[in-house]
């Protein structure tokens, strides 16, 4: 019997919140809206990597040619963004390091670095946005079935790390924002200051 199952020893506790979900769930839209309200945020590391590649003349296929290298590069970008943040400041992440772990698992890659980094810091809250009707864009190579598979793997990965995953239902941007801010107990503070 594995007596360590379910026991997770994190390094530093943070006041960082993760907005996650499968492709086309509205994560980036929500994080951008939170940023407009004045909250600190980090962009999705995969989009940062893809944008750098495109700006250097690469196609999405060239950028993602080696899926394991692609996922490890995303993890490195996520780690770099988190390493410069102050743990006790409120911040919203467009995905967290356990997302990288989930993607690495799906591609059959080496999980060791992602798992180690996922244990360095404990996020405050995890908000998983339920999938919206699937829309392709310049950075997405997945289809709707793959998006559902990714969503499930992300959910399972956060749960395995003993996070309570808060499901954010499909709704308007405003209602999703209210749901997240209410869950954090800060929506009233914003409304009172307006």
CA 14 to chain centre: 15
Q: Are 78 and 91 contacting, i.e. CB atoms less than 8 angstroms apart?
A: no
pLDDT of residue 188: 55
Give the confidence band of 5 by pLDDT, cuts at 50, 70, 90: very low
Q: Which candidate, 43, 42, 97, 44, places its Cα nearest to that of 72?
A: 97
H/E segment holding residue 28: helix 27-36
Q: Which helix (H) or strand (E) holds 30?
A: helix 27-36
Question: At which residue do the structure tokens 């499968």 appear?
Answer: 22
pLDDT, tens digit, for every residue of 172-181? 999 999 999 9
> Which residues, listed in sequence order, are joined to residue 92 by a DSSP beta bridge?
17, 41
Using the predicted structure, report yes or no on whether residue 73 has a pLDDT greater than 60.
Answer: yes
What pLDDT is recorded for position 190?
A: 52
pLDDT for 180 equals 97
Q: Which domains does the chain have, with CATH numbers?
A: 13-193 (3.40.50.300)
* Residue 182 pLDDT class (50, 70, 90 cuts): very high
Distance CA 1, CA 113 (A): 26
Highest-pLDDT range among 5-9, 100-104, 132-136: 100-104
35: its two tokens: 């940023």
% of the chain surpassing 90 pLDDT: 76
pLDDT at 10: 80
Cα distances from 85 to residues 76, 137, 142, 184, in angstroms, run 15, 29, 31, 20
| CA separation, residue 154 to residues 83, 84, 106, 147, 165 (Å) | 22, 24, 10, 10, 10
Checking if the pLDDT of 85 tops 70, the result is yes
pLDDT band at 2 (very low <50, low <70, confident <90, very high): very low
Contact by Cβ (8 Å): 45, 114: no
**pLDDT at residue 3 greater than cutoff 50:** no
Summarised one tens digit per residue, pLDDT across range 12-56 is 999 999 999 999 899 999 999 999 999 999 999 999 999 999 999
Mean pLDDT of the chain: 89
Burial (CB count within 10 angstroms: exposed 0-12, middle 13-18, buried 19+), residue 82:
buried
């Amino acid at each position: 019997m594995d007596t360590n199952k379910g026991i997770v020893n994190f390094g530093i506790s943070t006041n960082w919140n993760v907005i996650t979900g499968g492709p086309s769930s509205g994560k980036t839209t929500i994080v951008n809206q939170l940023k407009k309200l004045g909250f600190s945020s980090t962009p999705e590391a995969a989009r940062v990597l893809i944008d750098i590649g495109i700006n250097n003349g690469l196609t999405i296929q060239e950028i993602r040619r080696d899926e394991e290298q692609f996922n490890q590069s995303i993890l490195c970008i996520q780690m770099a963004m988190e390493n410069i943040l102050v743990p006790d400041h409120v911040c919203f992440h467009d995905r967290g390091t356990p997302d990288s772990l989930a993607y690495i698992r799906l591609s059959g890659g080496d999980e060791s670095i992602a798992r180690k980094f996922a244990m360095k810091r404990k996020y405050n809250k995890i908000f998983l946005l339920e999938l919206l009707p699937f829309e392709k864009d310049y950075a997405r190579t997945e289809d709707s079935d793959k998006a559902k598979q990714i969503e499930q793997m992300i959910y399972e990965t956060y749960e395995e790390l003993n996070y309570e995953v808060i499901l954010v239902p499909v709704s308007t941007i405003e209602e999703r924002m209210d749901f997240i801010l209410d869950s954090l107990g800060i929506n009233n503070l914003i409304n009172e200051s307006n």
